Structures are given as structure tokens and as C-alpha cells.
Amino acid sequence: MVGSWVLSECGLKPVPQIFPRPTRSNLPRPHNAGFPISAAASAGDLQPRSLKIRSWDHPGRRWRLGVSAPLRVAPFSEQEDKNERVMRQAEEIIEGLDEFDPGAPPPFKLSDIRATIPKHCWVKNPWRSMSYVVRDVVVVFALAAGAAYLNNWVVWPLYWAAQGTMFWALFVLGHDCGHGSFSNNPKLNSVVGHLLHSSILVPYHGWRISHRTHHQNHGHVENDESWHPLPEKIFRSLDMVTKTLRFTVPFPMLAYPFYLWGRSPGKTGSHFHPDSDLFMPNERKDVTTSTACWTAMVGLLVGLSFVMGPVQLLKLYGIPYWIFVTWLDFVTYLHHHGHDEKLPWYRGKEWSYLRGGLTTLDRDYGWINNIHHDIGTHVIHHLFPQIPHYHLVEATEAAKPVLGQYYREPKKSGPLPFHLIGALIKSLKKDHYVSDTDDVVYYQTDPQLSCSSGSKN
């Protein structure tokens, strides 16, 4: 049974039954009579604050509260509900203070992600794949014929942008052939891949093998093959001209042909030479075949320059080729760099296929998404490169609940992805090198290079 109490000058006394119970209307409510929780509180710190001694005037007497007991003892069930509310609020505060660590091992496995992807997303339809090839090839020849017929300097810049983008689309389809996601037929993949890639001066097998190395080691500082970070020792050994070319727009966006011949700083080998340390002995024949196809395409271009003239060939093929190179470097760089927050890179025992793949980024390219075959859905592609490009969007949506914060939602693009230019420039000004020793590392900034690029550290 709960008794009634009254405040007196001497303390807390029972109220005689002949007196009415004091009400809220004639007693001011003391401040801080609760369980306030600071933003930094932890679960073990949830203790009620001590009530400060309060006093106030009452007609004829001066009342003083010197106890922390409530004026009315709540029933047990009501107090229990209040305690639950307090604990729930505390848990919400603590959860809000718990920052996401992108470098921590994820709480799920690769098989957990795979299980969420619908079975039909793994089906490779060669007819559907070939339909995209036919579509893109028809567009390429139609653009070239239209530009040559009009031969107008108002039209040429539009043609260069459109045709360079279509060359990039051809590369993505050849890229699918290299992954085996084009079809289940290796011979079909090889023939189509050689035709598509040779037409844009890419050695199909040489690139396919090095790109496989990239996927097998994505996110690894030393073993990755595409846009991997430079350890500080190698970075410091570069002269200022090389650093400027590597980190100042537009030079990095023109790097791909040079990479094919010489790879990245700290690595040796050529995509054209069968004895390069990029390749295993049993892959030399494939590399020789691709180099022969590439050489044949160069010979065809030289022949066309005599037929139509070098200037016309430059306008029809040369400039679109460099637009394609820019697209390739732009897209592949931003799939691994340029996030608002730092992305981890790994080495040693900290690296795993899953953790490395989760550091990749999806990007939205607006109208270009369909043209370049949804290559912007890069996270799922990196984890499961066997999925055909026309199922990547659906597979990504299915996997998002499992990926949680490890999936970084891309910023929505307008019709054209101009917003990504800012992300590129910002990253090149800040992402220069990583530690030589740590197993979980993040990009660091060279103040000298950053200042020389017009950036403040």
C-alpha cells in the first residue's frame, strides 16, 4: 500500500487522514526530477543524477526539499514502463554514437550475399548478349557514316563525344566476354572479345588476364592491378613531373594506353609481350594471339589513312579513341576512389576477397547507364563477375539488405554525370599514397603536391 506524505520543515512526514493530500497545483515541481542522459552516456553510466537541494516560499512557511524521493511513488508496473523507456532511449543514443568502421570485417559472408540474388540473375543468354553487340556496332557505323556525310564542324564535336562513348560501350561488352559473363561458350566469348577489343586497340587476352588479377586481388595494396595506391616509399621516389602527370587532370584520364605497355609505377611488364610477368607460361599463346589481332587492327588503320587521308581518319577514329580512353580511366578510377569518406585498402592477413570487394563503389551515370551497359553497378560485379550486365541492377537491389552500410548508395545523376567530375578532381588532390607497413590503410595527402594543385590540406 502506498502512503501519502507531506513536506515539513523537519523533513518528510505522513499526512494525517484529516488533511487533504497536497496537489501539484500548490507545490512547484522541482527541476531535474528525472533520469537525463547525456549524449556521451554509455549503458553502464545510466544512473539518476542527484537532485540539487531546492527551496521555495510558501505563504507562512519556507519549504525546503532535501530528499530525492518522488512526491508520489509510482506503481510498480508504471515504474517498470518508465525504466524500459529510459533504457530504450539510452540504447538509441548509444547506437547513434556508434560510428561505422568501413575497415572492419563485415558481419556477413560472401555466401550470404549470393543467397539473396535471384537464380535467374546468374543465367547467361548468348542471344541477348549478342543483341547488345549488334545494337552497338550498328550505332557505331551509323554515327561514322552520318558524320562523314555531313562533314560539318558543328557536327564533329558531337560525333566525337557520341562515338567515343560508343567505343567505351564496345569495351564493356568485350569486358563481359573476358569475365565469361557474355555466354557459357568460351570460344564464342573469345571470338567476340577479340573482335570488339581489337577494334578499339585493346589486346583482348593480355587485358583479360591482368583484369582477372585485378578482380582476384581487389583492394590489396600490392597485388591489385587497377588504380591501386602507391606505398609511400614508391611515391617518394617519383620525380615531380611523374607525380604531376599522375595526379593532375586531365593527364590521369589519358593513362590507359601507356598502362598497357608499361603498367603502374613499381610494376613491370607489358600486356603485349607473352613473356611478361603478368602471364603464366600456359597463357603465352593466348597473349601472342591477342597481340597479333591488335597489330592487324593497327595495320588496317594505317591502310585507311592512305585511303581517306590521315586527317579524316583522325576525325572519324583517332579523336573518338581518346574519348573512349578518357571514359575508361574516368569510370575505373571512380569505382575505387572519390567517396566522401575514406575507403580502406588492405594487405597481409587483413585482406580478403570479400573485404576488398566491399571497398568498390557504385556510380550513377544518368543516360549513360544504359549505353555503357550498367557498368556503374560495380560492387556486385566485383564480388560476382559471372553475372551478366543486364542482371546487375536487379542483383544489386536484392543484395542491399545484406550489405547494409558496406554498400554506399551512389549520388543520383542528371542526364549526364557532370557531378562526378568534382569527385574525380577532389580525389586526385587528396589521395596520393598509403603507409608502407600497416595492414589496413587509407590514402594520405602530400601537402606539396596538394598545394601545387591548388588544394589546401
Q: What pLDDT band is residue 88 in, cutting at 50, 70 and 90?
A: low
Q: CA-CA-CA-CA torsion for 255, 258, 264, 266, nearest 10 degrees?
A: -140
- pLDDT > 90 in the chain, percent: 73
Q: What rounded mean pLDDT belongs to the chain?
A: 85
Q: What is the DSSP letter of 231?
A: B
The tens digit of pLDDT for each residue in 308-336 reads 999 999 999 999 999 999 999 999 999 99
Give the per-residue pLDDT at 10: 44
- Cell numbers 513536506 correspond to what residue? 7
User: Within 10 A of 92 (CB to CB), how many other CB atoms are there?
Assistant: 10
Give the per-residue pLDDT at 103: 92
Report d(CA 254, CA 338) in Å as an integer: 18
Report d(CA 421, CA 418) in Å as an integer: 6
Evaluate if residue 350 carries a pLDDT over 50. yes
Q: Comparing 30-39, 241-250, 319-328, 395-404, which segment has the lowest mean pLDDT?
A: 30-39
Q: What pLDDT band is residue 264 in, cutting at 50, 70 and 90?
A: confident
- Find the angle CA(150)-CA(326)-CA(195) to the nearest 5 degrees: 75
Give the per-residue pLDDT at 79: 55
Give the per-residue pLDDT at 265: 80
Determine if the pTM surpasses 0.95: no
Give the per-residue pLDDT at 267: 87
* Cβ neighbours of residue 9 closer than 8 Å, sequence gap 6 or more: 61, 62, 63, 64
Tell me the mean pLDDT in the region 227-247: 93
Give the per-residue pLDDT at 80: 58
Give the HSE-up count for residue 281: Cα atoms under 13 Å, Cβ half-sphere: 0
Evaluate if residue 105 carries a pLDDT over 50. yes
Identity at 413, one-letter amino acid code: S
The tens digit of pLDDT for each residue in 172-206 reads 999 999 999 999 999 999 999 999 999 999 999 99
Give the per-residue pLDDT at 448: 84
Tell me the mean pLDDT in the region 56-85: 51
Give the per-residue pLDDT at 2: 45
Q: What pLDDT band is residue 18 in, cutting at 50, 70 and 90?
A: very low
